[in-house]
Chains A and B, each alone.
Chain A
Amino acid sequence: MGIDRKEGKKLLKKINFKNKVSVAKEKFLEKLNLPDELVYDYAKITMIENTEILIEGSNNIVDYYDNYIKVQTKNIYIIIDGRNLNINEINDNELLISGNITNIGYISR
């Protein structure tokens, strides 16, 4: 099983072209001074002291217990420890958690 040298060259060319396009796209978006979370689809986390936490960006709940919540976002897992954790609002784009938060951790996917 092998690829023809000609076909291999074509594939390489395609991959190179795709990379170039994506680099050009990033450069262009950087020039526009748009916020990162919009450009790269990062999760944005906003906290109010230790009582409320708002996670913006596409997310899924992986684990949900009274004292532990694990949320999956595009690039990382967010782990929230605390007591009496409630999900106040769940939405396509937003997740609002309230309770007595003691710890936040991140694990890369």
Chain B
Amino acid sequence: MELEDGIKRINGTVEVEIQGFFTERFINLCKINNIKIWNIKNIVNGIVRFNIALKDFKKLKVIARKTKCNIKIISKKGLYFKFFKYRKRRLAFLLILVFILISIVSTTFIWDIDISGNTYISQEKIYDALKESGLYVGKNKIGIKTKKIINSLRVNLSDIAWAGIEIDGTHAHVKIVEKTKLPDSAINENSIGDIIANKSGIIEKITVENGTSILNVGEYVEEGRILIEGKIYSEFLETKDVTAKGTVMLKTQYEYKNQYYYNVQEKEYTGKSKYSIGIGINDKENYINYLDKSLNYDIIKNSKDINLFGNNISFILYRFDIYNLKDKLLTKDQILERANIDCENYIKDEILPNTKNGELLDKNLVIEQEDNNKINIKFEINILEEVGYFRERT
């Protein structure tokens, strides 16, 4: 009921003045006839003003005749009167119509596709396959047949076990289940071959599950040598070919070299910072530049990305922290401390991720060369790791 009133009021309201002897009766009759009036004001004795919805205005005529009141319109408000005023501006109406049409039509297209569930098939490959099967950004979603697309997608990409397409407004959600690949160990199960060293080092531990190894703990092994041979030798029976299996732990050595100077320049932040905004389109960034070129800045970005027809548009907020470069003279202890931290980071970021079950044993510091203004430092790093890969015998 209230919503209906609201719509009536948006459509148009009229402020009316009535004049007569029986204004009270007029109001009561309005109430009885279910004509909604509000903001009733008594201006002078016998003159009353009130607001009424445009739709109910015609009903007042009967009541006015009954109560012998005169009706006068004071002001008009609402959409109906606005439209009436601008009724001759046809172009404006046309533009409004076109705008509404465009917004309706644009919702029938697919604006964004997101793919989930893939681990080893790349996103672009799936995009291309989807495009071939008939689902792409900019495709009209009317008359789309998801079943057909899924079938052709499965033909195009043989690694997909199941696919589901859900169109939600202007978004298309593509869910994919990949075929599970057999792990390498399962493939190796039935083929005959050896385990080969892919790194050189000293053997720390060797456990053979299947096959024969002639190596001992403490022996040095070079890269490319057979660690476990896929053969079983017997005194009484013939030699038998098997799949080599086992783990070999090697102590391998890595190096970290760096040069350190006594004189260094360090950043000293002033605590002041400036802000700017920018827009990036496909990795090209433009921002409002009002910076003083004589100062040094650290740029910190905070961005929000939008994908539009395959283009990546990002709105970026920049923060520029101002700093001064200051000369500093380091002592030898400070340099060694810094070298230690750098080395530890190198081990953590570069070495250990590239090993299998890698573990740091120890690291030795060697000062290679010492000068008046610089030191060359080398770290010898010993790592315990699992090595060896399976190679099929031909």
Task: Mark A residues whose CB is within 8 Å of B.
Answer: 60-66, 85-92
A64 near B48: Cβ-Cβ < 8 Å: yes
A64 near B38: Cβ-Cβ < 8 Å: no
Closest to B34 in A: A92
Residues of A within 8 A of B38 (CB): 88-90
**Interface size class for chain B?**
10 to 19
Interface-lining segment among B25-33, B64-72, B210-218: B25-33
A-B contact count (CB 8 A): 42
Given A65, A89, A90, A92, which contacts B42 in the complex, CB threshold below 8 Å? Answer: A65
B31 near A90: Cβ-Cβ < 8 Å: yes
Docked Cα-Cα span, A52 to B246, in Å, equals: 92
Asked if B41 lies at the interface with its beta carbon under 8 angstroms from chain A, I say yes
16 contacts between A and B (CB under 8 A): A63-B24, A64-B23, A64-B24, A64-B42, A64-B48, A65-B45, A66-B42, A66-B43, A66-B44, A66-B45, A86-B41, A87-B40, A87-B50, A88-B40, A89-B38, A90-B38
Docked Cα-Cα span, A64 to B49, in Å, equals: 12
Main secondary structure of the interface of A (DSSP, over half): strand
Closest to A91 in B: B31
Residues of A within 8 A of B42 (CB): 64-66, 85-86
Docked Cα-Cα span, A60 to B25, in Å, equals: 9
B31 near A62: Cβ-Cβ < 8 Å: no
A90 near B39: Cβ-Cβ < 8 Å: no
A90 near B24: Cβ-Cβ < 8 Å: no
Residues of A within 8 A of B45 (CB): 65-66
B31 near A87: Cβ-Cβ < 8 Å: no
Min CB gap B36→A, angstroms: 8
Residues of B within 8 A of A90 (CB): 27, 30-31, 37-38, 40
Min CB gap B11→A, angstroms: 19
Residues of A within 8 A of B39 (CB): 86-88
Given B27, B34, B36, B43, which contacts A87 in the complex, CB threshold below 8 Å? Answer: B27
Top 8 A-B residue pairs of the complex, sorted by shortest distance between their CB atoms: A87-B40, A66-B42, A61-B24, A64-B24, A86-B41, A60-B28, A90-B31, A61-B27
Residues of A within 8 A of B37 (CB): 90
A64 near B27: Cβ-Cβ < 8 Å: yes
Docked Cα-Cα span, A62 to B25, in Å, equals: 8
Q: Most chain-A Cβ atoms within 10 A of its Cβ — which of B23, B31, B36, B39?
A: B31
Min CB gap A13→B, angstroms: 39
Min CB gap B4→A, angstroms: 14
B41 near A92: Cβ-Cβ < 8 Å: no
Min CB gap A67→B, angstroms: 9
Min CB gap B141→A, angstroms: 48
B31 near A86: Cβ-Cβ < 8 Å: no
Residues of B within 8 A of A89 (CB): 38
Within 8 A of A (CB), among B30-85: 30-31, 34, 36-45, 48, 50
Closest to B49 in A: A86
Docked Cα-Cα span, A88 to B45, in Å, equals: 18
Residues of B within 8 A of A62 (CB): 24
Docked Cα-Cα span, A25 to B169, in Å, equals: 59
Docked Cα-Cα span, A87 to B44, in Å, equals: 15
Docked Cα-Cα span, A61 to B44, in Å, equals: 17
Docked Cα-Cα span, A60 to B30, in Å, equals: 11
Docked Cα-Cα span, A66 to B44, in Å, equals: 7
Closest to B31 in A: A90
Min CB gap B310→A, angstroms: 56
